[in-house]
């Protein structure tokens, strides 16, 4: 079944709700939880780039501009994926699926957020950070959502690069340039994204299959998915450790990278062992990896932000 085949024959009627519900629906279009995760990588990167605390107003401007940009990309993603959101149980309560917001309103809202975010970055940050911000929106919407998501099992591998851009944006906001520490932080998030998302896709494989989205767990055996998760996780940990000599990190960050990376690898290997043992569905526990991956990224970047503040 393709995504087109899965598309419902009728569009849901516009839901009549109050102002508060409509406001909440617009907020939901931006996918706030994803925005939170993106900003977790942006602000600590700015501290590392500054070698300490960056200017407050620069952080605020980058925070606001980045939030608006992520909200724009996510809203446009909801607009483009409204057909498969209707099919998937996991996304069936999104604003367009419930008709709380119309497709036209979602499109206008996403474009407006993109314009405002660009203005904020141009006026209050710098040209390089602005170019990276616009590129991140375009990459997520055009390359990932339109070009990759419905066409290849490698969609999240290459499409996930959009989620790595906040690291580069944060670094460029402070320094006006990109150097090797920024590249390594980009690679940490780049290698982190597939095991994080494949764990979720293992749990909701039937959802993606029903929508005709060829996520790796839909088209490959779970053992293949687990093997690739292990490979990407090792690459992620090695990139995080490479930051130590390149950015002259202290023993605090080094210890955090080793311990957190070790736990991440342990969880992925446990998942692979369960799959090899023939355990499926809830007994496979892929969501353990998914939830831990969020904790890993958050704590690792907290260590990134704290490290330049330490008198070591």
- Supply the pLDDT for residue 283: 60
The model's pLDDT over 35-78, given as tens digits with 9 standing for 90+, comes to 888 889 999 999 999 999 999 999 999 999 999 999 999 999 99
Can you tell me which residue has the tokens 């996403």? 110
- Supply the pLDDT for residue 35: 85
Count CB neighbours of 11 within 10 A: 14
Q: Which residues have a Cβ under 8 Å from the Cβ of 37 and sit 6 or more positions away? A: 294, 297, 298
Q: What is the 3-state secondary structure (H, E, C) of the chain?
A: CCHHHHCCCCCCCCCCCCHHHHHHHHHHHCCHHHHHHHHHHHHHHHHHHHCCCCCHHHHHHHHHHHHHHHHHHHHHHHHHCHHHHHHCHHHCCCCCCCCCCCHHHHHHHHHHHHHHHHHHHHHHCCHHHHHHHHHHHHHHHHHHHHHHCCCCCCHHHHHHHHHHHHHHHHHHHHHCCCCHHHHHHHHHHHHHHHHHHHHHHHHCHHHHHHHCCCCHHHHCCHHHHHHHHHHHHHHHHHHHHHHHHHCCCCHHHHHHHHHHHHHHHHHHHHHHHHHHCCCCHHHHCHHHHHHHHHHHHHHHHHHHHHHHHCCC
Q: Which residues have a Cβ under 8 Å from the Cβ of 90 and sit 6 or more positions away? A: 204, 207
Kindly state the average pLDDT of the residues 136-162.
94
Q: Which of 243, 284, 236, 229 is nearest to 260 (CA)?
A: 236
- Supply the pLDDT for residue 282: 56
179-312 placed in CATH 1.10.287: no
Please tell me the CATH code under which domain 1-177 is placed: 1.10.357.140
The beta-carbon contacts of 259-262 under 8 Å, at least 24 apart in sequence, are 260/296, 260/299, 260/300, 260/303, 261/236, 261/237, 261/296, 262/237
Q: Which residues have a Cβ under 8 Å from the Cβ of 19 and sit 6 or more positions away? A: none
Kindly state the average pLDDT of the residues 260-265.
97
pTM across the whole model: 0.90
Percent of residues, the chain, with pLDDT higher than 90: 73
Map out the domains of the chain as residue ranges: 1-177, 179-312
- Supply the pLDDT for residue 280: 65
Q: Which residues have a Cβ under 8 Å from the Cβ of 277 and sit 6 or more positions away? A: none
Residue 132 pLDDT grade (very low, low, confident, very high; cuts 50, 70, 90): very high
The model's pLDDT over 1-46, given as tens digits with 9 standing for 90+, comes to 334 344 444 445 544 556 777 788 899 999 988 888 888 999 999 9
Euclidean distance between CA atoms 22 and 286, whole angstroms: 34
């Amino acid at each position: 079944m393709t995504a087109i085949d899965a598309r419902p024959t009728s569009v849901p009627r516009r839901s009549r709700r109050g102002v508060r519900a409509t406001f909440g629906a617009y907020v939901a279009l931006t996918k706030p939880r994803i925005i939170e995760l993106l900003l977790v990588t942006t602000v600590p990167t700015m501290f590392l780039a500054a070698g300490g605390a960056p200017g407050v107003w620069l952080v605020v401007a980058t925070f606001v501009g980045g939030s608006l940009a992520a909200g724009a990309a996510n809203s446009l993603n909801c607009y483009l994926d409204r057909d498969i959101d209707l099919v998937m149980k996991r996304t069936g309560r999104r604003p367009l699926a419930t008709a709380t917001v119309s497709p036209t309103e979602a499109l206008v809202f996403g474009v407006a957020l993109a314009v405002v975010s660009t203005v904020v970055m141009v006026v209050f940050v710098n040209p390089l950070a602005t170019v990276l911000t616009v590129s991140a929106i375009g990459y997520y919407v055009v390359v990932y959502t339109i070009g990759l998501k419905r066409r290849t099992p490698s969609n999240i591998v290459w499409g996930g690069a959009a989620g790595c851009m906040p690291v580069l944006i944060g670094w460029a906001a402070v320094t006006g340039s990109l150097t090797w520490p920024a590249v390594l932080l980009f690679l940490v998030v780049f290698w982190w994204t597939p095991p994080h998302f494949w764990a979720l896709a293992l749990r909701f494989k039937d959802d993606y299959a029903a929508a005709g989205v060829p996520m790796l767990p839909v088209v490959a055996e779970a053992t293949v998915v687990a093997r690739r998760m292990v490979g990407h996780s090792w690459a992620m940990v090695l990139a995080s450790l490479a930051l130590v000599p390149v950015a002259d990190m202290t023993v605090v960050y080094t210890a955090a990278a080793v311990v957190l990376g070790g736990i991440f690898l342990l969880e992925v290997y446990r998942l692979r062992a369960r799959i090899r043992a023939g355990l499926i569905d809830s007994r496979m526990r892929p969501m353990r990896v998914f939830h831990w991956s969020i904790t890993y990224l958050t704590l690792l970047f907290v260590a990134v932000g704290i490290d330049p503040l330490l008198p070591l």
